[in-house]
Amino acid sequence: PQTIYLKDYTPPAWLVDTVDLDVSIEADGTVVSATQTLRRNPAVADQPLVLDGEELETLAVSVDGREHPYLASATSLTLNDLPASCTLRTVVRIQPDNNTRLSGMYRSKDGYFTQCEAQGFRRITWFMDRPDVMSTYTVTLHADRATFPVLLANGNPVASGDEANGRHWATWADPFRKPAYLFALVAGKLDVLRDTFRTASGREVQLAIYVEPGKLDQCPHAMAALKKSMKWDEERFGLECDLDHYMIVAVGDFNMGAMENKGLNIFNTKYVLARPDVATDVDFENIDRVVAHEYFHNWTGNRVTCRDWFQLSLKEGLTVFRDQEFGADLHNRQTARIREVRGLRAAQFPEDAGPMAHPIRPESFVEINNFYTATVYEKGAEVIRMIQTLIGRDAFRAGMDEYFRRHDGQAVTCEDFVAAMAAASGFDFTQFMRWYRQPGTPRIAADGFWDADSASYTLTLSQSNPRASDDAPYLIPVRVALFAADGRLLPGSERLLQLSASSQSFVFENVAEEPVPSLLRDFSAPVYLDFDDTPEQLTVLLAHESDPFNAWEAGQRLATRLILAASTEIAAGRTPVWPASFVDAARQLLQSHAERGAAFVAEALTLPGETTLAELISVVDPDALHAARNSLSRHLAEQLENEFAGLYASLTVSEAYTPSSEHAGRRALRNLCLSYLVEFDGEAVRELAFKQFREADNMTDQFAALAALANINAADCRQRDSALAEFYARWQDEALVVDKWLQVQSTSRRPDTLATVKALTAHPAFDLGNPNKIYALIRAFGANLVRFNAADGSGYAFMAEQILALHDRNPQVASRLARCFDRWKKFDAGRQAHAQAALRRVRDHQGLSRDVLEVVTRALG
Ligand code: DPP
Ligand code: ZN
C-alpha cells in the first residue's frame, strides 16, 4: 500500500461552494444524488477534477445538465475539460446494509447512521474527500415513514412532508461551510429528549438527544453535561454556540467514542447513556468529558478545521486539553490530573516507545485511521498544556482569541495555531515546535547539589530522547519546588524552569538546609524523570507536597521501585521483602482521607499498573512482575487489614446516589479497601463482596464487588460464579452493562482467563459486528499483561485469529486489536518467537486490510 507524506501536500485544484444531496433510502440500497457547484482554485494550476469514492455504484454523471465523459476506477472519478466553474451531478447507489466497516453510511439496529471522519464521505458519494475542501450543504432524505420516522442531517430543518407509498422526506440546510468529514445523517426510529440553552448573547439553541426507544431515562446526564459544556466554553474561552439546533444521536455500533459532526453529533451509546444502576462514577465522568469534547470541537475543529490529516492534533490535542480542563473544573482537579497522567503512561508512553511511535503531527501514514492515537490525542493535549504553562493562562486565552480572529472558517495547520499563540504572548516557540516533530518520550535526568557554605542548591537537568531523529534539545517547562526535611515548602522556591539546553543548571539561593526537591510538579511536561530521590525524600513529598499531583507521584515512585526490585527477586526464585516505611506511609494516607480527600487517597493507594511498570524494564518477565505487584498488594492488605476494614465500614454513602465527585471519591476509596481485603481470599471476605454485589443500589458499587470476585483464583468460589451469573441474568438486555460483564472476565488475573475469553467469543452476548463488544472482550484481554503475554504464546495465537476474523469486516477495529502486539519485543526470546509467528501469520494473510497491514508491518519491521 501507498504511503502518504505531509511534505507532498498540495492545495485542492478545485473548490466546492455548495453541495446538494438527495438521499433516498430504499429496499435495494440507498440512492445518493449529489449536485456540487465547482470552480477552479485560482491559486492552483489547471488540473482535471479527481473525486474520491469507495464501493459506489455509479448510475449517472452530468456537468451543467449534460452528460460528460469520465474515467472511473474503484476509488476515483476523473473528469477532464471542465469549464472554470460548473455544476456536477452524480448519482450513485450504496449498500449501507452491507457496510460492516461502520465508515460511511451503515445500518444499525434502530436505523441508518454515518461516520465520515476521516474518509467515510467517499463511501457515500463521489467527492474531494479532504478537510481543506469546505462547502455549504443542503440535504434531503427520503425513507419509509413507519420504519424511519426520524430524518436528521446537519444544520437546520427547512421543510418536510409525505410522499407516495408511506414514505416521507425532510430537508436540512447547514449554514456553515464545512469539510465532508463533518457531514452526518440519521434515519431511524428513535426517542428524543429535548431542551434549550440560552447563549450569553441571548440566542436560544434547541438541544436534542436521540436514543433507541425506551432509553430516554438514560439521557438526562448527557443533556446536563451538554448545557454545562456550553456555559463553560462561554466563560473560559468566550466561545458561544453558533447553531440553532444542536443534536446528539446515540448508536450502539460505533467504531470510536463519538463524532463532532456539525450540529449533529453521533455518539457511541457508551458516552451518552447513564443511570445510576447501569453506569459507574467513571462512566458518568467520561460522559461529561466526551459530550464536552464533541461540543468543544464546534470551535476547535469545525469552525477552524485541519488543512490535512497530518494536522489531526491541531483539533484533537487542543480539544482534549479543553475537555480535560472542563472535567477538572467540574469534578476534582487533583484527581483529574492524576488520572490523565496514569492514562498517558499506560497507553501513550508505550506507544511512543513502540513500532507505531509517531510525532503528534505525523509526517507519513498509510492509513489515517491508524493515527487516531494516544499520541495525537493525549500527548497532543500535553503539548497544548505546555504552551499554556509557558505563557500563562491569560496569554493562552488571548492566543485562542487570536487563533479564531485569524482563522475562523479556515482549514489550517499546527503552525498556524502556534503562531497565534506566539503573536498573543510574544513568546518564541521556534524551539518548542520540536514537540510537534519528534516521536518518543524525552527523558530528563536530574541531579541536585546543596552547598552549605553558600546556602545554595544547584539543580542540573539533562535531556535526551533516543527515539528522536537528532540530538537537538526540546524546550521543556519544568515546575519545581523545594521542601525542607520536615515537609515545609521553602519560601521562594516554587519556580517554572525552562529547560532548553541538553544540560542546564539552575541555582536556588538562600537554601539554608539540604532540600527535598519536587520536580515536574503537576506533570509539567510529558517526559520520564530519572532522579535518585531517596525513599525518605519521597516519603516527605508523599506526606507534605502541596501539589497533589507530585504528592501522588512520590507514592508511585516509591511503589514502582519496590515492585521492580521485587520482580527481580521473584524471577530469581527469592521472596520479596517489603519495607515497613512503605506500609507506614500507606497507613498515614488512609488516616488522612478526611483532610486529603477520599478520591486522592484512593489514587495514592492504587499501585502503578503492570503496563506502565513494564515500560521501565528492558526485558519484561510478566509473571514475575504480576507476582511482585500482587505481593505488594497482599502485603499492604495484611499489614493494614484493620484500617481497610474500618474504612470499608465507615465510608458508606447514605445519601441517594449522585455521581458528584465527593460521593464518587468515597465510593472509590471504599471499593479500593474492598479490593485490598479480597487479597486474602476467604469465606468471610467473599461474603462481604457478595453482599455488596447483591445490595448495591448503584453500578459503581455493584461492579466493584463483581470485579473483586472475578479476580478470585480458587476454583470453587461459589460467590464469584453466582455473581457473574446473576449479573448477566439481570443485565443481559442492557448492552453497555453486558460489555462490563465481558470486560471484567477478560481483565481478570485468573490463570484460566484466556479459556474464559475464548468461551465467551461463542456466547450469545458476544458479537463480532459490535465494536464495543470486541473492545470489552478481545482488546481488553490484549491489555491484560500477564495473561495476553502467556509464555506458551496462546494469547498471541488467539489475538491473531481474532484479527483475521475481523480484518475484512471491520478493518479499523481489527487494526486496533493488532496494536496489542506493540510491545512484543520487550519480552524474552521464547515469547518473542511466539509473537513473531502470530504477527507473520497475520501479515501473510491474503488480502489483508491496509489498516492491519500497516500495523503488523511496522510491528515486524
Ligand atoms: N473526531 C472524533 C473525536 O475525537 C473522533 N472520531 O471526537
Ligand atoms: Zn476529538
Mutate which of 316, 318, 323, 377 for ligand 1 pocket (most atoms within 8 A of beta carbon) = 316
pLDDT of 186 reads 99
**Same domain flag for 454 and 388:** no
Residue 116 lies in a domain: yes
Whether 670 and 649 have beta carbons less than 8 Å apart is answered as no
Ordered strands of the 191-198 beta sheet: 191-198, 204-211, 245-251, 264-268, 258-259
**Same domain flag for 391 and 484:** no
Alpha-carbon span 133 to 410, nearest angstrom: 10
Mean local confidence (pLDDT), 384-397: 99
Whether 182 and 260 have beta carbons less than 8 Å apart is answered as yes
Closest ligand by atom to 118 CA: 1
**Same domain flag for 351 and 452:** no
E strand or H helix at 421: helix 414-425
pLDDT of 1 reads 85
Mutate which of 113, 296, 297 for ligand 1 pocket (most atoms within 8 A of beta carbon) = 297
**Distance (Å) of CA 861 to CA 6, 355, 710, 838, 855:** 22, 8, 38, 14, 10
Domain-ending residue, one of 153, 169, 189: 189
Query: Ligand 1 pocket, 378 CB below 6 A?
Result: no
Residue 769 lies in a domain: yes
**Same domain flag for 38 and 147:** yes
pLDDT in tens, 688-738: 999 999 999 999 999 999 999 999 999 999 999 999 999 999 999 999 999
**Same domain flag for 423 and 476:** no
Residue 556 lies in a domain: no
Whether 563 and 628 have beta carbons less than 8 Å apart is answered as yes
Q: Shortest CA distance to 746 belongs to which of 685, 791, 795?
A: 795
Query: Ligand 1 pocket, 590 CB below 6 A?
Result: no
> Closest residue (by CA) to atom 7 of ligand 1?
259
SS3 letters across 726-784: HHHHHHCCCHHHHHHHHHHHHCCCCCCHHHHHHHHHCCCCCCCCCHHHHHHHHHHHHCC
> Closest residue (by CA) to atom 5 of ligand 1?
259
- Which residue has 515500560 as its cell numbers? 615
The radius of gyration computed from the CA coordinates of the chain, to the nearest angstrom, equals 28
Alpha-carbon span 368 to 4, nearest angstrom: 9
**Same domain flag for 367 and 399:** yes
Q: CB within 8 A of 607, min separation 6: which ones? A: 559, 563, 629, 632, 633
Q: How confident is the model at residue 268 (pLDDT cuts 50, 70, 90)?
A: very high
pLDDT in tens, 179-223: 999 999 999 999 999 999 999 999 999 999 999 999 999 999 999
pLDDT of 680 over the 90 cut? no
Residue 135 lies in a domain: yes
CA 101 / ligand 1 centre spacing (Å): 17
Alpha-carbon span 375 to 312, nearest angstrom: 11
Whether 85 and 42 have beta carbons less than 8 Å apart is answered as no
> Closest residue (by CA) to atom 1 of ligand 1?
259
Query: Ligand 1 pocket, 293 CB below 6 A?
Result: yes
Mutate which of 113, 115, 259, 270 for ligand 1 pocket (most atoms within 8 A of beta carbon) = 259
Whether 738 and 221 have beta carbons less than 8 Å apart is answered as no
pLDDT in tens, 406-442: 999 999 999 999 999 999 999 999 999 999 999 999 9
pLDDT of 556 reads 98
Query: Ligand 1 pocket, 294 CB below 6 A?
Result: yes
pLDDT in tens, 94-143: 999 999 999 999 999 999 999 999 999 999 999 999 999 999 999 999 99
Tell me the CATH number at 857.
1.25.50.10
- Cell for 200? 450569553
Whether 208 and 133 have beta carbons less than 8 Å apart is answered as no
The total of structural domains in the chain comes to: 4
Q: Shortest CA distance to 306 belongs to which of 395, 250, 371, 378?
A: 371
Residue 624 lies in a domain: no
Range of the structural domain that residue 42 is part of: 4-189
**Same domain flag for 381 and 489:** no
Residue 821 lies in a domain: yes
pLDDT in tens, 503-544: 999 999 999 999 999 999 999 999 999 999 999 999 999 999
Catalytic status, residue 726:
no
pLDDT of 405 over the 90 cut? yes
Residue 130 lies in a domain: yes
Q: Which of 117, 294, 382, 610 is catalytic?
A: 294
Query: Ligand 1 pocket, 323 CB below 6 A?
Result: no
Whether 164 and 89 have beta carbons less than 8 Å apart is answered as no
Q: At what angle do helices 661-677 and 622-639 cross, to 10 degrees?
A: 100
**Same domain flag for 486 and 416:** no
**Same domain flag for 486 and 418:** no
Mean pLDDT, the chain, rounded, equals 98
Domain-ending residue, one of 525, 541, 564: 525
Strands 134-144, 14-26: pairing kind: parallel
pLDDT of 3 over the 90 cut? yes
Domain-ending residue, one of 377, 411, 437: 437
Whether 320 and 378 have beta carbons less than 8 Å apart is answered as yes
Give pTM, 2 decimals: 0.99
Q: Shortest CA distance to 485 belongs to which of 556, 553, 552, 541?
A: 541
pLDDT of 562 reads 98
- What number does the ligand 1 atom closest to the CA of 377 have? 4
**Same domain flag for 395 and 356:** yes
ipTM above 0.95, yes or no: yes
Query: Ligand 1 pocket, 383 CB below 6 A?
Result: no
Beta strands in 27-166 (DSSP E): 29-40, 49-52, 57-63, 66-67, 71-72, 76-79, 85-94, 104-108, 111-115, 134-144, 150-153, 156-163
Proportion of the chain above pLDDT 70, given as a percent = 100
Alpha-carbon span 726 to 702, nearest angstrom: 11
3-state SS, residue 50: strand
**Same domain flag for 427 and 458:** no
Alpha-carbon span 624 to 630, nearest angstrom: 10
> Closest residue (by CA) to atom 6 of ligand 1?
259
**Same domain flag for 355 and 450:** no
pLDDT of 681 over the 90 cut? no
Strands 204-211, 245-251: pairing kind: parallel
pLDDT in tens, 333-360: 999 999 999 999 999 999 999 999 999 9
User: For residue 723, with 0-12 CB atoms within 10 Å meaning exposed, 13-18 middle and 19 or more buried, which class applies?
Assistant: buried
